[in-house]
Amino acid sequence: MTLDTTKKRHMLRQMYTIRAFEEMAEQLYMLGKIHGTMHLSIGMEASAVGAAAALNPDDYILSTHRGHGHCVAKDADINLMMAEFMGKETGYCRGRGGSMHIADVDSGNLGANGVVAGGIPIAVGVAMSQKMQKTGRICLCFFGDGAANSGPFHEALNMAAIWTLPVVFVCENNQYAMSYSIRKACKIERIADRAAGYGMPGETVDGNDVMAVYEAVSEAVKRARAGEGPSLVENVTYRYRGHSKSDANRYRSKEEIEEWKERDPIPRFKRYLLENGELTEAEAAGIEQEAQAAIADAVEFSDNSPEPDLATIEEGVYA
């Protein structure tokens, strides 16, 4: 699948939308409009957008606790996403899920998972069902570097490989699992090298380069769709914010964060489009403004939406 200018601009818009959504999320949190915690992916937008761009609209994704970007990249309705985030009845899951449980089965987003690595075995099941039903759809599963050190990762990759399942495993290596550096948690340089242990291709890419992510994931998607089985793609990236809202950021230096900001995926992609003659500065500014306006509208929609009725509190809890 080649990307035309319209699609690339759409990807830039998605990246701006993710950034604007999460910056707004921080503000709403400060205003006390959000309860509980949240995990932001600011700085990681190219990973979500590049990967999802390689999919067909009816393909499936499984997301993580850091999943706002994945939802936007899978073309979620921003109003419904924001309403869910703010715990409103009009949200994707009627406000019952919040930040970590935004799902939209209709658009192929099978949802986030608060259990680290929890989505990886589920992806194997989803891919298995697609293979058995011969739908031609594939499943893409996002997870973090920390998840790649857990048991379910290894079991799931092995099963997907022996059953030649149409699944793409996308490891978003943002350098830390909570406060623990991947350099301390993993003896090998590239997580993607683990793919060899399960007999599947593994590729490590610059996860802040949306086109590089797109190309690597496209190869994996092509392979999955052709019935050749799973692949592992590692997007090397970085989160600027703390792990969650209760992170004092004591395990890394300001200099390290600043260094990564030099490689920010959004200005990089904008520059690429400008240099390619696929965008002008004015158009880029227009796209960014539209993304911000969409987020402001989503907040208004959510503010005006009702809270779930207390009488429904047990709905969906007991079978």
Ligand X SMILES: Cc1ncc(C[n+]2csc(CCOP(=O)(O)OP(=O)(O)O)c2C)c(N)n1
Residues that bind ligand X (CB under 6 A): 64-66, 114-116, 144-147, 174, 176-178, 243
CB of 209 to ligand X, least distance (A): 19
Q: Which C-beta is closer to ligand X: that of 48 or that of 287?
A: 48
**Rounded distance between C-alpha atoms, residue 300 and residue 154, angstroms:** 44
Kindly calculate the radius of gyration of the chain based on its CA atoms and give it in whole angstroms: 19
Nearer to ligand X, 63 or 231 (CB): 63
76, 111 contact by CB (below 8 A): no
Least gap, CB of 251 to ligand X (angstroms): 12
Name the pairing type of β-strands 176-177 and 139-144: unpaired
| Nearest residue relative to ligand X (C-beta) | 144
- Please provide the DSSP assignment of 92-108 as one string: TTTTSS-GGG--BGGGT
Nearer to ligand X, 232 or 273 (CB): 232
Classify residue 3 by its DSSP letter: P
Whether residue 202 contacts residue 153, with contact meaning beta carbons closer than 8 Å, is answered with no
Instruction: Decide: 76 and 109 in contact? Cβ < 8 Å.
Output: yes
Closest CA to 41 of 221, 207, 274: 207
User: In whole angstroms, how close is the CB of 143 to ligand X at the nearest point?
Assistant: 6
| Closest CB 38 distance from ligand X, rounded Å | 12
Q: How far is the CB of 6 from ligand X (least distance, A)?
A: 31
Q: Which is nearer to ligand X, 10 or 154 (CB)?
A: 154
Nearer of residues 65 and 101 to ligand X, judged by Cβ: 65
